């Protein structure tokens, strides 16, 4: 059969268009690690959030679809943060946040600072007397990373996105958990709250602040312990998804009653002790939660 040359050309163009499109989609999925539900519909910056399983402690990696990386806390020393970053070939952090000075949040930061280029270190300004805090100070001095203390009302740029700082208003020397940096981040219509280890007094202050507290995704405060996650706070947040970081070895973290309370508030609940690394991806319109293993606890009706 004879094929006209124009037809051959058209076939070739069609083939290359299709190949290019397929390659682009594959590259996109590979880069983001998930299937976006609205591929190509928006130039909105997307976001991938990973609760890295560091047992008892927090370590949260945020990666924008434009290649910026932020790490919030890094668990205890040698608890898996640096391994995760290396495995995923992350050799640059635009920002590293220490929510507060407890060892299950800052213990792993020195090894990250010494191994990976960090542009900016964000802290709450509270100086502690622990060996973990002194080690952090030493690593910060060694690496000379730029440091910034933040407080309520500050805004921190993250590529095209912006973190709003909702705590601490003023760091008090007599508390540690309640000095945690709380970060609100909105990606398009999808709202995240990262709470560090805040407890009920700060939750009450947030309720009284008249902010819109409704969140799609709540990083549950203080490893789902019962010092936090009051019913009033959860009623205000009404999270679709609640994620916490904890081990099976610290009694009360997570607290079974708090897990029930989250489910009563209508949240699907994922925890690193059950689900391993927990990945949340959003394109600003919708979001997907991908646990490394297992299923979430589902809301009570
Ligand atoms: Zn903690």
Distance 104 CA to ligand 1 centre (A): 5
Q: Are 261 and 269 in contact (CB under 8 A)?
A: no
Distance 172 CA to ligand 1 centre (A): 18
Query: Measured between alpha carbons, how far is 220 from 230 in angstroms, rounded to an integer?
Result: 11
Q: What's the pTM value of the predicted model, to 2 decimals? A: 0.86
User: Where does 37-291 sit in CATH, by number?
Assistant: 3.60.15.10
The mean per-residue pLDDT over the stretch 76-102 comes to 98
Distance 90 CA to ligand 1 centre (A): 24
Distance 275 CA to ligand 1 centre (A): 18
Distance 286 CA to ligand 1 centre (A): 29
Q: What's the distance, CA 191 to chain centroid?
A: 12
* pLDDT single digits (tens) 203-231: 999 999 999 999 999 999 999 999 999 99
Distance 58 CA to ligand 1 centre (A): 6
What is the DSSP code string of 52-118? ---SSS--EEEEETTS-EEEE---STTSSHHHHHHHTT--EESEEE--SS-HHHHTTHHHHHHHSEE
Query: Measured between alpha carbons, how far is 28 from 22 in angstroms, rounded to an integer?
Result: 10
| The dihedral sign for the CA sequence 112, 113, 118, 119 | positive
The pLDDT value given to residue 42: 53
Distance 16 CA to ligand 1 centre (A): 52
Distance 177 CA to ligand 1 centre (A): 8
The pLDDT value given to residue 13: 39
pLDDT at 267 over 90: yes
| Domain ranges (residues) in the chain | 1-32, 37-291
The pLDDT value given to residue 43: 64
Query: How many CA atoms lie less than 13 Å away from 199 in the CB half-sphere?
Result: 10
pLDDT at 183 over 90: yes
**Residues of the chain with pLDDT > 90: what percent?**
83
Centre a 10 Å sphere on the Cβ of residue 225 and count the other Cβ atoms it contains: 21
Distance 100 CA to ligand 1 centre (A): 9
Distance 183 CA to ligand 1 centre (A): 16
Query: Measured between alpha carbons, how far is 118 from 93 in angstroms, rounded to an integer?
Result: 5
Distance 223 CA to ligand 1 centre (A): 6
pLDDT at 37 over 60: no
Q: Over the chain, what is the mean pLDDT?
A: 89
Phi, psi dihedral angles at 233 (to 5 degrees): -65, -45
The pLDDT value given to residue 173: 85
Distance 74 CA to ligand 1 centre (A): 11
């Amino acid at each position: 059969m004879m094929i006209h040359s124009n037809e051959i050309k058209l076939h070739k163009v069609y083939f290359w268009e299709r190949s290019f499109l397929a390659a682009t989609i594959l590259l996109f999925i590979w880069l983001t690690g998930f299937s976006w539900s609205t591929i190509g519909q928006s130039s909105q910056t997307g976001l991938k959030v990973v609760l890295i399983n560091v047992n008892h402690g927090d370590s949260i990696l945020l990666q924008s679809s434009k290649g910026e990386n932020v790490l919030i806390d890094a668990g205890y020393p040698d608890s898996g943060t640096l391994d995760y970053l290396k495995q995923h070939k992350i050799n640059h952090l635009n920002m590293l946040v220490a929510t507060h000075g407890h060892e299950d949040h800052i213990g792993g930061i020195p090894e990250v600072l010494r191994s990976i280029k960090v542009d900016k270190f964000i802290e709450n300004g509270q100086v502690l007397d622990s060996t973990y805090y002194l080690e952090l100070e030493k690593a910060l001095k060694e690496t000379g990373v730029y440091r910034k203390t933040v407080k309520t009302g500050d805004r921190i740029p993250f590529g095209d996105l912006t973190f709003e700082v909702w705590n601490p208003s003023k760091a008090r020397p007599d508390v540690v958990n309640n000095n945690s940096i709380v970060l609100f981040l909105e990606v398009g219509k999808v709202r995240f709250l990262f709470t560090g280890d805040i407890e009920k007094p700060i939750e009450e202050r947030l309720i009284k602040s008249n902010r819109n507290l409704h969140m799609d995704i709540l990083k549950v405060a203080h490893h789902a312990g019962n010092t936090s996650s009051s019913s009033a706070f959860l009623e205000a947040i009404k999270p679709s998804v609640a994620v916490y970081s904890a081990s099976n070895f610290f009694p009360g973290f997570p607290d079974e009653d708090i897990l029930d309370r989250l489910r009563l508030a209508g949240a699907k609940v994922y925890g690193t002790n059950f689900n391993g690394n927990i990945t949340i991806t959003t394109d600003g319109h919708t979001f997907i939660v991908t646990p490394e293993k297992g299923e979430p606890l589902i809301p009570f009706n």
